[in-house]
Chain A
Amino acid sequence: MGWLAALLTQILHLALVLAAAPLVVGGIRWLKARMMGRQGPHPLQPLRDLAKLLRKRPVLAETASWVSRAAPYLGAAAALAALALVPSFARGMAFAPLGDLVVIAGLLALGRVAMALAGLDAGTAFGGLGAAREMSFAAIAEPAFLLAVLSFAILAGTTGLEPIGALFQEGSLGLRVSLGLALVALLAVAVAENARIPVDNPATHLELTMVHEAMLLEASGRHLALWEAASALRLTLWLALLSAIFFPFGTAPAGFAPLGWLLGIGAWVGKMALLCLALAAFENAIAKMRVFRVPEFLGTALLLGLLGALLLFLSTRLA
């Protein structure tokens, strides 16, 4: 019975996040437009775009190899696999034992490498430029992420996502500066990983300022659809990760509990909507920074993670 509930939770979770991913992207776009006083595209527009792209005939560059064809599937699979491990509305999912933060970082790296290789495959100038920048920025974002993970590991004694979420939900930790710093660091990493303003502009059409989009210039048809889906899934993943760690309120406990699940789904949708709103407001309030300011930005996130761990030693030593 227990495993059945776990499996059911997992399937529901997958369905939920798959439905949420295009809505998150479309919702943020719509909110941003509304805040700027524009009408904005319909929130479901990304879904329509995906459906359209899937029907189109992909055109591969003559110089492209099988890497261009295989990488989109790998990228989407990595994002989806990582998202399957991050709890949304309930604990005790079938894949919960796999949900480790370091593993999630590894899966994200897998998706990133797949995308960088796809960008390099056709041998064009912009693809290589985007790949070089993406990998270089990740070189600083990854340690920042792991330092934030260190703070959780010190508090929870593990890097497992579920124990961390359960501990934070219990609330015995209180408010902690280190957690705040870890949150700031994670936010900066999330912004960089998802190619959002101020690090990158998801709506840019100027190749020289692109990071993420520059690698996808040669993709078309279903390959482009898969890349777009992967980036939507990654954005959903980061928002879900933030809400699973920092705002685990309302998450249903493990086991078969339809009412708790309903409440959990409601709470999760609410949290995700709030995070989308915050992201949209943030993006509207800030301008894109120069590419070579990005290392400084991410370096600051890294240092904040470091500071968080230091302050955690301070407070754990006091008790």
Chain B
Amino acid sequence: MSFGSLPYDIAHLLGGAVLLMSFVLLYQRRLEAVIGAFAVQGALLAAAAFWQGFAQGAPHLYVTALLAFGAKALLIPLALRIALRRLGLHRTVETALGVGPSLLAAIALVGLSVLVVLPATAGQAQALTRENLALALSVVLLGMLMMIARRNAISQLIGLLSLENGLILAAIGVQGMPLVVELSTAALVLMLALVAGIFVFLLRDRLATLDTGDLARQRGEGEAP
């Protein structure tokens, strides 16, 4: 498969769109828009999985697609929206790193992942797989970047989830990847999400803020305010 053949083109396009949504996540300033972008990313991921299932003739990928769509595009964004409304958060994203610098860092990270993946997989895998790996690694790195560049717990949670999107993207691109691995990955990260969710509520109760920067004061080393 290479350029010009439809399966490749569509898979390439969807992978790129998932990466683009990672950039949108970093660009947005309002929490609601961040959640919306995350939902779109989930839907795109589901579409990518669906297309891979169709192209590779692997029906189990349809399950992945369904799971991704249900969880990433519908349930989690919905839950986050409800949390947002209930908590009455002021809705701009608090950034630890400005939008411009974090986008610049994101570009550098994409460049880095291209530089890493291409030589590392030279002559070993199909073109599509190699490209998918590069895109997926970029999405993972951008997720991590988002966790660092944002101070709000909800944004950090979304960063983590989009990181997991990257993992799924990597998994669906490899031919013959068994479903088990994906389910376990997904479950693991969902667990993490749960933990993070509880963490959000606890934080809210105890500290009346979602700024994780305030946690530093709770370590017992310094003076409590």
Contacts and interface: CB of A to CB of B under 8 A. Distances in A.
B62 interface: no
Q: Is the interface of B mostly helix, strand, loop or mixed?
A: helix
Contacts of A288: none
Interface string A140-179: 0000000000000000000000000000000011111110
A303 B107 contact: yes
Q: Is the interface of A mostly helix, strand, loop or mixed?
A: helix
Interface residues of B, number: 30
B134 A314 contact: yes
15 contacts: A174-B3, A175-B10, A176-B12, A178-B16, A180-B17, A296-B99, A296-B100, A300-B103, A306-B107, A307-B23, A314-B131, A315-B127, A318-B118, A318-B131, A319-B3
B33 to A, nearest CB: 12
Contacts of A304: 20, 23
A303 B23 contact: yes
Given A174-B3, A178-B16, 10 more contacts: A172-B4, A177-B16, A177-B20, A180-B17, A296-B100, A299-B103, A303-B103, A303-B107, A318-B131, A319-B127
A318 B130 contact: yes
A177 B16 CA distance: 5
Given A180-B16, A181-B16, A181-B20, A318 B110 contact: no
A177 B17 contact: yes
B131 A315 contact: yes
Contacts of B27: 296, 300
A310 B110 contact: yes
A296 B101 CA distance: 10
Interface in B33-59: none
A314 B127 CA distance: 10
A318 B2 contact: yes
B104 A311 contact: no
Given A299-B103, A303-B107, A317 B12 contact: no
B77 interface: no
A310 B5 contact: no
A172 B5 CA distance: 9
A64 to B, nearest CB: 38
A313 interface: yes
A188 to B, nearest CB: 12
B111 interface: yes
Contacts of A303: 23, 103-104, 106-107
Interface in B109-127: 110-111, 114, 118, 127
A182 to B, nearest CB: 12
Contacts of B99: 296
Q: Which interface class (under 10, 10 to 19, 20 to 34, 35 or more) fits A?
A: 20 to 34
Nearest to B128: A318
A310 to B, nearest CB: 6
Contact of A175 (B2, B13, B20, B130): B13
A67 B134 CA distance: 53
Contacts of A174: 3-5, 8-9, 12
Contacts of B134: 314
Contacts of B5: 174
Interface string B64-105: 000000000000000000000000000000000001100110
Given A181-B16, A181-B20, A299-B103, A175 B127 contact: no
Contacts of B9: 174-176
A313 B9 CA distance: 16
Contacts of A295: 100
Contacts of B173: none
A175 B12 contact: yes
Top-4 shortest CB links A-B: A177-B16, A318-B127, A175-B9, A174-B3
Contact of B3 (A176, A180, A181): A176
B16 to A, nearest CB: 3
B110 A307 contact: yes
A176 to B, nearest CB: 7
B166 interface: no
B15 interface: yes
Contact of B114 (A176, A296, A310): A310
A181 B13 CA distance: 10
A175 B3 CA distance: 8
Contacts of B104: 303
B107 A310 contact: yes
B17 A173 contact: no
Contacts of A311: 16, 110, 114
Contacts of B106: 303
A262 to B, nearest CB: 31
Contacts of A313: 114
Contacts of B107: 303, 306-307, 310
